[in-house]
Structure 1
Amino acid sequence: MTATEKTALIVIDVQHGIDEAGHWGGNRNNPTAEENIARLLKHCRALGLPIVIVQHDSVSPASPFRPGQKGNLLKDFVTVLPGEKSIHKSTANAFIKTDLEAFLKAQHIAKLIITGFVTNNSVEATARMAGELGFHTTVVSDATASFDKVGVDGTKYSSTLIHQVSLSNLKDEYASIATTAEVIASLTPTSKPLIA
């Protein structure tokens, strides 16, 4: 198998509820994250790579992601296509109470590209687990995003800072960090693979 054949793209929680910024803390960074996710989807689909679309079905009555409302629905450009894997989760970590790990192992996938929302929540939780399970994981810095967060002492931290700290938590120990352009270049057959 080539490097690309063993790589899967994972798209996390790209649902309409992410647009309810006030619920998440407001002031979202990376306003072009959806555009970059769409670019990665198009590229990976063209290469025939496995695609995993993760959808959060929240059990919290206050969550925009709870089933039965528009916020739970996937955004149109991430609609699961025939042959793609759909995962429904109820926790931040996409490996918990799902068959994600079993699916990846059955497909002999060793490398993961992770995109989606929110960087310091479901993206980080899933990427940490992926790294712990031995998958070579890359989190795409401009195809993920965070919101402002209030600390335990009441200090408000900007979405950009939260995003960067979350990526820093993952860097080297659990995952590699790359931009959309870097990932696309690494998946081009004539390029040296970025995702080792």
Structure 2
Amino acid sequence: MSFYAKDSTALLIVDPYNDFMSEGGKLYDITKPQADSVSFYENMRKLIPAVRAAGIKVFIVPHHRTRPTDFADWAAVNPTQQDTFRKKCFEEGAWGGEFHPEFGPKPGDVIALEHWAQNGFAGTDLDAQLKQHGRNKLIFVGFIANSCVESSARMGMELGYHVTLIKDAVGAFNPEGMVAARVNAKLFAHSELTTDELLEALQVTAKA
């Protein structure tokens, strides 16, 4: 049996919103240079269909959708949350807060509860959903490499999951963020693969 067996592996797509991944999204232009530097969109178009074809379950890890009452009377709102609120990123009921039609959820996927900051496990049902579906190997893709992807993947390691990062299927706000993600990954990720390396591993699975 291959390492990435379909019954124990999950693909986690972090924050696949229009505001990030669709032209015209509020964060598309600022993230696109970094995404393009690793061929993010081309790789996502190869990776996601291959994962689905391999029978691996997809989990969506969504950021909190902005609402008018957010952070009212909060004691500690961080600068990123303030900026997201000010710009109305991922706004509830708006196009930017809808999932990207290609990279977002499909029937049969699991959509976790929204995370308020960066960690997809914090205050959500992600851990429970993964355990209920018998998944102990997690493959992470999406945005942002040194923020929500890193924070969620790091927590996954702390919770005892095997964590794989796909280093050319993530994007960031700036080149420094992409570098930071690769440096920090050495401290927690069990495996860092390219899209092609993952696809090769999945082909081995299919032949096993």
TM range (shorter): 0.7 to 0.9
Q: Per-residue CA shift, 1:4-45, capped at 9, x if unaligned?
A: 2211100011211114348x9566312231221232110111
| Equivalences for residues 106-117 of structure 1 within 5 A | 106-117=132-143
- In structure 2, the residue corresponding to 1:77 is in which secondary structure? coil
Q: How many angstroms apart in 2 are the aligned matches of 1:43 and 1:80?
A: 15
Higher percent of residues as helix: 2
Q: Per-residue CA shift, 1:116-148, capped at 9, x if unaligned?
A: 001111111101101111111111111001122
Q: How many angstroms apart in 2 are the aligned matches of 1:80 and 1:26?
A: 21
How many Å apart are 1:176 and its aligned residue? Answer: 2.0
The verdict on how the C-alpha distance between 1:45 and 1:67 changes in structure 2, with shifts beyond 3 A counting, is same
Is 1:179 paired with 2:204?
no
Is 1:142 paired with 2:168?
yes
Q: What TM-score do the two structures reach when normalised by structure 1?
A: 0.82
Q: How many angstroms apart in 2 are the aligned matches of 1:108 and 1:2?
A: 16
Work out the number of aligned pairs and report it: 181
Q: How many angstroms apart in 2 are the aligned matches of 1:190 and 1:129?
A: 27
- In structure 2, the residue corresponding to 1:144 is in which secondary structure? strand
Q: Per-residue CA shift, 1:57-94, capped at 9, x if unaligned?
A: 24424341121221111111023222110123132111
Q: How many angstroms apart in 2 are the aligned matches of 1:72 and 1:176?
A: 31
The verdict on how the C-alpha distance between 1:50 and 1:39 changes in structure 2, with shifts beyond 3 A counting, is same
Letter in 1 for 2:41: E
Is 1:189 paired with 2:207?
no
In structure 1, the gaps of 5 or more residues are 149-158
1:85 equivalent among 110, 114, 117:
110
Letter in 2 for 1:28: P
Equivalent residues of 2:16, 2:104 under 8 A apart: no
Letter in 1 for 2:204: P
Question: Identity over the aligned pairs, expressed in percent?
Answer: 30
Higher percent of residues as strand: 1
Counterpart of 1:64 in structure 2 is 89
The verdict on how the C-alpha distance between 1:99 and 1:26 changes in structure 2, with shifts beyond 3 A counting, is closer
Equivalent residues of 2:16, 2:143 under 8 A apart: yes
Q: How many angstroms apart in 1 are the aligned matches of 2:128 and 2:31?
A: 36
- In structure 2, the residue corresponding to 1:188 is in which secondary structure? helix
Q: Structure 1 segments of 4 or more deviating over 4 A?
A: 24-27, 190-193
Across the aligned residues of Structure 1 and Structure 2, the Cα RMSD in angstroms comes to 2.4
Q: What TM-score do the two structures reach when normalised by structure 2?
A: 0.77
